[in-house]
Amino acid sequence: MSNHDETPENRLRRELPEEVRASARGAVNAPETVDLPGGGPAELTGRQRLAKSLWPPRVSRAQLIVALLLSGLGFGLAVQVASNSDSDTALRGARQEDLVRILDELDDRTQRLEDEKQGLEKQRAELENSSNQAEEARRQTVEKEGQLGILAGTVAARGPGITITIDDTKGTVEANMLLDAIQELRAAGAEAMQVNGVRVVAGTYLSDAGDAVGVDGNKIKAPYRLKVIGKPQDLEPALNIPGGVVQTLEKEQATVTIERSDKIVVDALRAAKQPDYARSSSR
């Protein structure tokens, strides 16, 4: 550098007068110089020196050294340009501050997207949860509908229980005796029952009708067959207790047969009836 610094300084000092001289001479003596190319170096203009050095080519030590250095420069230049231009990412030439800023922006964006993702996942979890809850509620409703239907007599029921057959040849069995039997069975835990094809529910009423018995207005005749779903081990003793239903009926000379069964089907149905006055208080 020091060498080089020194050169321009010398040049600068010398340049102005020389150049003025050269241009003045160029204006005046230009044809002469062209006519005499072999003149002294001091009389040549820069252009002529350039042309002279370019053609004809001379092999000298200086030329070879300069050629070597210039080939090195050309090599480095080409390599640098190639490595710069074939870099596929646009970030390669970016400055550090730009890179930091881009990185920050990416971080922010990542953060935002992460937040959004979390929100959406939470929403999805809530939706799944609520859908599960709705499913559960529906299932419970169906279950409850079944239970209430059994109570109200709107659906058929099956399960373990007993069958009671009351054979009344003398026509002495009255409605109150059947009612006693039904109450006793209810007290023993009967869950669904029917008598001669009429479902017995909470609102069932019995009435005497000559030699028959009216159950909810349907006249049924002996033999009375009660199908009862409940725990057989509870139902049967409840009827057989001393002074109970069976003894009372046998005193009236009716025959009572009780059969336990694992599979009783109570398939007599009642129509569901909308109450006229009572409304659910939960609404």
Partner 1 sequence: MIAVLGLVVGVVAGLLVRPEVPAAVEPYLPIAVVAALDAVFGGLRAMLDGIFDDKVFVVSFLSNVVVAALIVFLGDELGVGAQLSTGVVVVLGIRIFSNAAAIRRHVFQA
Interface segment toward partner 1; rule CB under 8 A; list 14-22, 133-141, 220-228, 263-271: 14-22
First to last CA, the chain: 99
* DSSP secondary structure, the chain, as one string: -HHHHHHHHHHHHHHHHHHHHHHHHHHHHHHHHHH-TTS-GGG--HHHHHHHHHSS----HHHHHHHHHHHHHHHHHHHHHHHHHT---TTTT--HHHHHHHHHHHHHHHHHHHHHHHHHHHHHHHHHHHHHHHHHHHHHHHHHHHHHHHHHT-S-EEEEEEEEEEE-SSS---HHHHHHHHHHHHHTT--EEEETTEEE-TT--EEEETTEEEETTEEE-SSEEEEEES-HHHHHHHHHSTTSHHHHHHHTT-EEEEEEEEEEEE---------SS---TT-
Q: Of 2 and 280, which CB lies nearer to partner 1 in the complex structure? A: 2
Taking the complex as a whole, how short is the minimal distance between the CB of residue 105 and partner 1, in angstroms? Answer: 20
Answer for which of 17, 31, 95, 210 binds partner 1 (CB under 8 A) is 95
Taking the complex as a whole, how short is the minimal distance between the CB of residue 111 and partner 1, in angstroms? Answer: 28
Taking the complex as a whole, how short is the minimal distance between the CB of residue 68 and partner 1, in angstroms? Answer: 6
Question: Does residue 74 interact with partner 1 by CB under 8 A?
Answer: yes
Answer for which of 9, 13, 19, 169 binds partner 1 (CB under 8 A) is 19
Answer for which of 25, 26, 165, 207 binds partner 1 (CB under 8 A) is 26
Answer for which of 31, 35, 38, 42 binds partner 1 (CB under 8 A) is 42
Answer for which of 20, 79, 106, 125 binds partner 1 (CB under 8 A) is 79
Q: In what order do the strands lie in the sheet with 157-167?
A: 198-200, 192-195, 224-229, 157-167, 255-266
Q: Of 36 and 64, which CB lies nearer to partner 1 in the complex structure? A: 64
Question: Does residue 47 interact with partner 1 by CB under 8 A?
Answer: yes
Answer for which of 59, 90, 202, 271 binds partner 1 (CB under 8 A) is 59
CB 266 within 8 A of CB 156: yes
Question: Does residue 87 interact with partner 1 by CB under 8 A?
Answer: no
Interface segment toward partner 1; rule CB under 8 A; list 42-50, 100-108, 130-138, 145-153: 42-50
Answer for which of 17, 31, 56, 243 binds partner 1 (CB under 8 A) is 56
- With CB under 8 A, what is the number of residues at the site for partner 1? 52
CB 230 within 8 A of CB 189: yes
Q: Of 67 and 272, which CB lies nearer to partner 1 in the complex structure? A: 67
The residues of the shown chain that bind partner 1, judged by CB under 8 A, are: 1-4, 7-8, 10-11, 15, 18-19, 23, 26, 41-42, 44-47, 49-50, 53-59, 61-80, 82-83, 95-96
